[in-house]
Amino acid sequence: MRRPLLLSLLFLVLLCTILLSIVIGPAGTPFLDLDQEVTSTIVFSVRLPRAIAAALVGIGLAASGVVMQGLFRNSMADPYLLGTSSGGALGAAFAIVFLNGTLHWVFAFIGCIVAMAIVYAISVRGGRVPVEQLLLTGIAVSVFLSALLSFLMYTSDKSLHQIFLWLMGGFWSVSWSDVTIGLLVLPASLSLLLFSRELNIFSMGEEDALHLGVDTERMKKGLLLASAFVTGISVAIAGSIGFIGLITPHLMRLLLGPDHRFLLPGAMMAGGVLLVLSDTLARTIGGEVPVGVITAFFGAPFFIFLLKRRYAP
């Protein structure tokens, strides 16, 4: 009963966090304003879509992070491990430089998917995809795409600031159309729950999973496809936001244990809470701070704390 109760509590916390994000902001509390037009604009046109988008992106990144860590059996894995972040950044930068930013989110999504497809195609060996090969290929492709991005930034003086802002991640230009796109994260993330049993068995080792009847290659394909889709949508909406997909799985393992049937939904809701809180802080501490800066500022020290606690003698 403990874990279902914690999941229910996390869901309530997520709803309360979204409500808090709507109430808090640099313009104050709009519900206290007698001007209904101002209230409607601030709440329904600015804060509500932004809060929902942040929750959806947090859900997607956390779900993808759990899957990557389970698939690679490595607690250092994150959603961007296989080059999706570099691919998305390159796609968005291309649109910003050559198309004046038109449909940059589409190019970012395409970049994520293409990067993952390249990594997968290079890693295939006789119909199988060794996890170690996938990991090393992902690192190599990510470095190569980052080099292309650096060259593009070096040769684009006028668009450099815009590219930098996108790379740091943020929700300042989010609208209801972005929320509509972001809703695709929910079914894709929930589809990952179908692999919870296989991930639990896979955590014992690929050979053991094969002996226990798990079709590991089918599992890898399904997880990589859904994870790439979720990460692509998230990056397309908000840019590259780090640490949500890395830290959230660790936090939820402390509370819910390693069983992916509970870990996945718990991490999804916790990821939404963390990113909504980070975005609320980003827009209220003065000016419009990129939310990626907030997640890195708090995420890196906290992750070091977790590492110290885990490997303490």
Say how many domains are in the chain: 1
pLDDT at 306: 73
Q: Which pLDDT score is estimated for 75?
A: 81
Q: What is the pLDDT of residues 101-121, one digit of tens each?
A: 888 889 999 999 999 999 999
What would the pLDDT profile of 238-283 be if each residue is shown by its tens digit? 988 989 999 999 899 989 999 999 999 999 999 999 999 999 999 8
CB atoms within 10 A of CB 73: 14
Range of the domain at 116: 2-310
- Please give the residue that has the higher pLDDT: either 252 or 313: 252
Alpha-carbon torsion, ordered 146, 173, 251, 4, to 10 deg: -130
In the predicted structure, residue 305 carries a pLDDT above the cut 70:
yes
Coil, helix or strand at residue 128: strand
Q: Does the pLDDT value for residue 147 go beyond 70?
A: yes
Residue 9 sits in a domain whose CATH number is 1.10.3470.10
How far is Cα 89 from Cα 84, in angstroms, rounded to an integer? 8
Q: Is the pTM of this model over 0.85?
A: yes
Q: What are all long-range contacts of 5-8, with beta carbons under 8 Å and residues at least 24 apart?
A: 6/255, 6/256, 6/266, 7/256, 7/262, 7/265, 7/266, 7/269
pLDDT digits (tens, 9 = 90+) for 153-186: 988 877 888 888 888 888 988 999 999 999 999 9
Pairwise CA distance, residues 266 & 274, whole Å = 12
